Structure 1
Amino acid sequence: MIREVTGIETIRMLYLQLLYRCNFNCTFCFHGERLSHNDSFSADEATALLRLMHETYGSEAVTLLGGEPFVYRELPQVVRHAKHDLGMQVEICTNGYRIERRLAEIAGDVDFLRISLEGIGHTNDTLRKRGSFAAALQSMEAARSLGVATGSTMTVNRQNIDEVIPLAKLLEDSGARQLKLHCLRPIGNAADHPELTITDTAAYARLREQLADAALCIDVVVDEDLSGEGSQVTCAPVQNEKSVERIESDPRGALTLSCKAVGKDAHAFWYDKKNGHIEYRPTGTDEIALAIPDVVYSHV
């Protein structure tokens, strides 16, 4: 159905939000009140969607996330299906809180573990959860001991922008491969915390200068909205591209092509979990009708 409506032939990666439930309630989380919702994929529903995306759109990779994917009981079944049955690359995006035992069960089938960090020590724990910084570093060490490559994400905001470089250096020294920097979007919990929003966009220019001068060996990936101008690239359906990088499914089955539309109920496509097919449900305010720009990333 996506091909018929948009002309898209291939979608490289599926971002699969397995559930909303999480053991954190971060101040900037785009899910907001949905963190308390019970929507989730069963293992059968998740593997069926993986198979559909792989066979129909040639998807070769999946990123499993939530909520918190490590509180999802059927995580091993989904990981094994993606890796062994479909031969996909498997990435998991997690808060890294006390995941060592469960990670050990699936480590052989995980290609990349990405742990969210929002600064050093207290800064991270204030934005996320007390004790989460130490727990994340312990999980990264456990992953490396199991042979799993690691990286991190950081949502840049007013409280942590001065800790981007220190965090990048710490991750580099600890053997992490990548730090991915996201722009804060005022949805979900972030909408209730306007103090996190960076209003002086010159701060982004200073950050980019610092990154350029830091001579980091770690791969730093930057959301282009971390600039005074922001990205003006429109989403793939409007550009009629034949191939796109990713599509994201939330735990209800809503499918979103533009990262900037995630969490805004601006999706035009749904995965019918019961019947195992994708439906087109257009509205006047969906991502295609509004030509919502996609996020563009660059490497420092």
Structure 2
Amino acid sequence: MITEVTGIQTIRMLYVQLLYRCNFACQHCFHGERLQHSDAFTLPQAITLMRLMHKEYGTEAVNFLGGEPFLHKDLPEIVRYAKQELGLHVEICTNGYRIERRLTEIAPHLDLLRISLEGNGATNDAIRKFGSYQGALSALAYARDLGVPTGATMTVNARNIDEVLPLVRTLQDYGARQLKLHHLRAVGNAAHHPELLITDQAAYGRLRDQLRTAELSIEVIVDEDLSEDGAPEICTADERAVAIPRVEADPRGALTMSCKAVGKDAHAFWYDKEAGHIVHRPSDTDELALAVPDVVYARA
């Protein structure tokens, strides 16, 4: 269905938000009130979606997220199927809070564990949850000991922009391979925390200069919106691209092909979880009709 409508034939990575439920309520979370919703993928639904994407669009990697993916009761079986049956590159994005027991189960099938952090110590805990910083470091150390490669994500905001480099150095000490920096978008919980929004666009330029001149052993990937000029306005749908890097499925089955559309009701395609196929549900406000550009990432 996606190919027929857009011309896209290949989608490299599938992001699966397994459930909305989370043990955190972070101030910047794009899910907002949906954190309280019960929508979730069942084991058969997740398997069917992965199989469909792999067969029809050549998908070679999957990233499981939520909500908090480690709260999903079938996570070990889902991860095991993705790796053993489909041969996918498997990543999980998690808050890392008390995941050690379940991480042991899935470690042999996991290619990357990415933990969300918003700064060092108290800065992180104020945005995410008290005790979450130490919990994340514990998970990083545990994963390292299991031989699981690790990385981190950070959503840059007014409260933590000065802690990017200190966090990078902490991650280096824990053996993490990469930090991915996201631009804060005023959706979900972030819409209720305007104090997190950065009003001085020059601050992004200063951050990028710091990253360029720092001697770092860790790879830092930066959302191009974190620049004084913002990201290029690129929309793959307009260009009739034959390959795109990602598609994301939320717990309802809504699909998005642009990070900038995630967290908004702008869905041209849905995965019908009961029928097991993708359907086209166009509207005047979907991501194709609005030509929503994707996020562009680049090395710092």
Considering the TM-score relative to the shorter chain, is it more than 0.5? yes
For residue 234 of structure 1, report the CA deviation from its aligned partner: 2.3
Partner of 1:293: 293
Distance 1:86 1:9 in 2: 19
Distance 2:224 2:164 in 1: 15
Letter in 1 for 2:174: S
Provide, for residues 120-142 of structure 1, a one-character-per-residue CA deviation record: whole Å limited to 9, x for no partner: 00000000000000010000111
Distance 1:216 1:36 in 2: 39
For residue 5 of structure 1, report the CA deviation from its aligned partner: 0.3
Partner of 2:278: 278
Indicate conservation of the 8 Å contact 1:270/1:278, yes or no: yes
Distance 1:238 1:93 in 2: 30
Partner of 2:88: 88
Indicate conservation of the 8 Å contact 1:157/1:198, yes or no: yes
TM-score by length of 1: 0.99
Question: After superposition, where does 1:41-190 map in structure 2 within 5 Å?
Answer: 41-190=41-190
Letter in 2 for 1:46: A
Distance 1:80 1:258 in 2: 27
Of 118-127 and 227-236, the range deviating more from structure 2: 227-236
Indicate conservation of the 8 Å contact 1:181/1:223, yes or no: yes
Counting aligned pairs with the same residue, the percent is: 65
Indicate conservation of the 8 Å contact 1:235/1:257, yes or no: no
Of 178-187 and 232-241, the range deviating more from structure 2: 232-241
Partner of 2:35: 35
Letter in 2 for 1:148: V
Divergent runs of 4+, >6 A? none
**Which 5+ residue runs of structure 2 have no aligned equivalent?**
none
Indicate conservation of the 8 Å contact 2:144/2:174, yes or no: no
Letter in 1 for 2:187: I
TM-score by length of 2: 0.99
Partner of 1:207: 207
Provide, for residues 97-148 of structure 1, a one-character-per-residue CA deviation record: whole Å limited to 9, x for no partner: 0000000011000000000000000000000000000010000111011110
| 3-state SS of 1:164 partner | helix
Provide, for residues 163-189 of structure 1, a one-character-per-residue CA deviation record: whole Å limited to 9, x for no partner: 000000111122100000000000000
Letter in 1 for 2:21: R
Letter in 2 for 1:223: D
Indicate conservation of the 8 Å contact 1:118/1:124, yes or no: yes
Provide, for residues 207-230 of structure 1, a one-character-per-residue CA deviation record: whole Å limited to 9, x for no partner: 011111111110000000001111
Q: How many equivalent residue pairs? A: 300
**Which 5+ residue runs of structure 1 have no aligned equivalent?**
none
For residue 236 of structure 1, report the CA deviation from its aligned partner: 1.5
Letter in 2 for 1:39: D
| 3-state SS of 1:200 partner | coil
Distance 1:233 1:153 in 2: 23
